[in-house]
Amino acid sequence: MKRLVAIVAVLSLVLVTVVAVGLAVWQLADSSAEDGPSGRSASAPPQPGSTEAPTAELASFYGQRVDWESCQGDFECATLEVPLSYSEPAGTTIDLALLKVPAAGDRHGSMVVNPGGPGAPGTTYAAAADRVFREPLLRAFDIVGFDPRGTGDSAPIDCLADDRLDAYLAGDPTPDTPTEEEEYAARSREFAAGCAQLSGETLNHVSTIETARDLDVLRAALGEAKLTYLGASYGTKLGATYAELFPTKVGRLVLDGALDVSLDNRQLSLDQAAGFQTAMEAYLQNCIDTTETCFLGESLDDALATVSDLLDDIDTSPLPTGGARDLEIGNAYLGVLMPLYDRSYWFLLSAALREALGGQGKALLMLADLYASRGADGFTDNILEANVAINCLDDRSGVGFGRVEAEIGAFEEASPTFGRSFAWSLTGCRAAKGRTSEKPITIRGEGAAPILVVGTTRDPATPMKWAEALADQLESGVLLRRDGDGHTAYNAGNKCIDSAIEAYLLEGVVPANPTDC
C-alpha cells in the first residue's frame, strides 16, 4: 500500500504507520546504544508440524532454525534465508534481517510484527517494542521483527544517491505549468531508471505476495505451528495476504489501521486525500476550540485558507532554514502531513506552522526529514525507495501524466488542501521498471481462524471504511472500531481497544463482531 503521503512523483504511494514515523525520533535517543556481548541463545523446540513445507523444493528453507546472537544491548539478531524467486527455489537466495526482543515473563511464543510502509524496517519496529507494545504483550511474547525483502538490511532496494533523493522529495508535488509538469515527470523517470540500474533483479521480487511467503518461512524457522502476528497500516495488507495464501497456518492475527485490499490505486489515493483533509480539519478545529485566539484563524475556513496560502507562498519562494537546504514545497507538504498521523504530534505542527508563517522553515523541514528517515548525514534507511518499488510491483494502475487534470476536480472536492497533490500521485508508477511473476489473488482467507481487524474513526491514512471493508472481505474477519484521531489504534490511550487486542492475542478471546470502543 502506501506510506500515505505525497512524496513528489509518488505522492500517495506510501502508507506507513505512525510508529514507523516515530521510530526516527526514538532512534535519535537510542543512537548511542552499543552492541551487547557476543552470545547465542537456543531457540524453543519446534512445535509439531511447524516445519512442514508446502512443496518439497522449499523443504530446506522451512527446515531452518534461527541462530540468534546478542546484538544492540538486550536484543537478539539473526538472518533467514529465502529464495529470491519462489518459482525458482533452487536459484538465487537472499537473507532477511531479523531482530527479537525476548519475552520478559512467562513466554507464550513468538509474535511477528510489521510496522507498515511498505518499506519500513521491521527490525527497528521490534527494537522499539517497549514503546510500541504494552507490558502484557512484552511479558508473554518474543517480539520478532524482520526487514521485508527489499527493505532495511534485507536485499535493500536502491534508486537514487542521497543528493538526488533530496531533490526528488523537495520537488513540487502540485505542478501547475507545462514546465513544472515536465520537471515532475522527469523526476519520476529518473527515480524509476535508478531503481532498475541499482537494484537489478531484486526489483522484480519485492511484492507483498513474496513477502507473505517469506513470513511463512519465518513462522516455520521460529518453530511455530501457527502464526501470531500484529501488522499495522500496510502490515494489514501483508497479514491479509498471508491469510489467503496460508489460511491453515493462521493463529492470531491483528490487523491494525486496516487497508481495503480490494481497491485500486485511484480509489486508495482519493480516500487517503479525504482522510488527511479530515485530520487537518480536526487539528485546526482543535486549535480554534482550545485557544482564545487560534494563530491560524478564527474559523475553520479562515484556518484552512491560512495553511493553503502558506503552501502557495512556499511554492513560490522557499523558506530559509539556517542550513544548507531551504524548505521547498515538496518538503513543506511532508512536514505538514507528518504530524497528522498522531494527535500527540499536533503541537509540533503548530510550532512549525508558527515558524513558517514568520518566514523560517527549519521546523517544517525537520518534520519532513523525520518522515523521510533523513538524518544529518543522509538517509538512515531506504523506506522511500522500497515503498515505491513494492507498491508499483503490487499495482501499476494509475493515469498518464497528460490525464491528471481530468482527476483534479474529484480530488480537490475530497481534499481542498491536499487534493491536487494526491491527484498527481496517480502517475507514480507510470515509469516503474519492475515486473512481478506473481499472479494477482483475491483475498478471502477461507478456512482461517478469526482475524481481528482494527480501524480508527478519524485515521488520516487508513480510513475507518477500509477496516470495515477488510473485515467483511475476510471470511473470518472480526471488526474492532476505535473512536479517535490518529493512525492505528493499539496503545493509543483507549483501554477498550488495548484490552480487546490483548485478550485476543493472549487468551484467544474473540470480541463480538463488530465491537465499538
Active site residues: 233, 459, 487
Alpha-carbon distance of 329 to 512, in angstroms, equals 46
Distance between start and end Cα atoms, the chain? 26
CA angle 180, 184, 189 (to 5 degrees): 145
3-state secondary structure of 90: coil
> Shortest CA distance to 203 belongs to which of 395, 432, 25?
432
3-state secondary structure of 70: strand
**Residues facing residue 143 across a β-bridge:** 101, 111
Give the CA count within 13 Å in the CB-facing half-sphere of 413. 5
Q: Are 415 and 427 in contact (CB under 8 A)?
A: no
What are 17's three cell numbers? 504507520
Q: What's the residue count for the chain? A: 517
Q: Which long-range contacts (CB under 8 A, 24 or more apart) does 398-401 make?
A: 398/265, 398/266, 398/426, 398/427, 398/428, 398/429, 398/430, 399/266, 399/426, 399/427, 399/430, 400/427, 400/430, 401/181, 401/184, 401/185, 401/427, 401/430
Please give the backbone phi and psi of residue 84, each rounded to the nearest 5 degrees, phi first.
Answer: -60, -45
Alpha-carbon distance of 191 to 208, in angstroms, equals 21
